[in-house]
Structure 1
Amino acid sequence: MLKTFAAALTILSLTAVPVSADLSNKFGRASKKPVKTARAEMLPPPGYKGQWWTAPNRCEYSRAGRPGETVWYLIINTAHRKCDAYLVQRGFKDAY
């Protein structure tokens, strides 16, 4: 069994296609798309520091994001049909 596995692994490593981490030539970069920010009435007021936010449509969100950005992700167990999966308050062009 071990010899069969080793032989299969050897064949796979000899015939594998080289992997490229940059697929932007094939699929394009996300940064070409503008960042879609949420409607102002759905976002918390300026200066809001809390971890959770309940939007006017009664959808509840949790704050997340990399340093310098703020994204509010929907808390799934409070979701209903009118909830967006996330709200981008301040984002970078390489995601969303």
Structure 2
Amino acid sequence: MLALPALAIALSLATPADALFGQAKRKAQPAPPSSYQGQWYTTPDGCSYSRAKAPGYATMWVLIQNPHHIGQPPAGAHCATLLKQNG
């Protein structure tokens, strides 16, 4: 059983995590300005996000994988997982 953890460590050192898990490189997405009050936000290139805000923390925008409820197509591999609020 010791071989499996050693193999996982060797793979993580030899291969970037993005390639290991088959994730595409994500580009920076424009976040809405701090004055934006909506629950959902869609970037110009079609990535849809939902507002998340906890008391004492900055507003974050979380990627919606399947935003059919707001009339948008599924998220592409180019979409960032999280956006930080501007301003």
Determine the structure 1 residue equivalent to 2:82: 86
**Given the two structures, how large is their TM-score scaled by the length of structure 2?**
0.51
Contact kept? 1:57, 1:82, Cα under 8 Å: no
Count of equivalent residues: 51
CA RMSD of aligned residues (A): 1.9
Q: Is the 8 A contact 1:51 1:62 kept in 2?
A: yes
Which structure has the highest helix share of the two? 1
Report percent identity of matched pairs: 47
Deviation at 1:65, TM superposition (A): 2.3
Q: Which runs of 5+ in 2 are unaligned?
A: 1-27, 67-73
Mapped contact 1:61–1:72 kept (Cα < 8 A): yes
Unaligned runs of at least 5 residues, structure 1 = 1-38, 91-96
Measured in 2, the distance between the counterparts of 1:73 and 1:67 equals: 17
Q: 1:57 aligns with which of 38, 45, 49?
A: 45
Matches within 5 A, 1:1-96: 42-68=30-56, 69-77=58-66, 78-89=74-85
Query: Runs in 1 of length 4+ with deviation above 4 angstroms?
Result: none
Find the aligned partners of 2:62 and 2:34 in 1 and give their Cα distance. 18
Amino acid of the structure 2 residue aligned with 1:79: A
Calculate the TM-score normalised by the size of structure 1: 0.47
**8 Å contact 1:61–1:73 — kept in the other structure?**
yes
The structure having more radius of gyration, on CA atoms, is 1
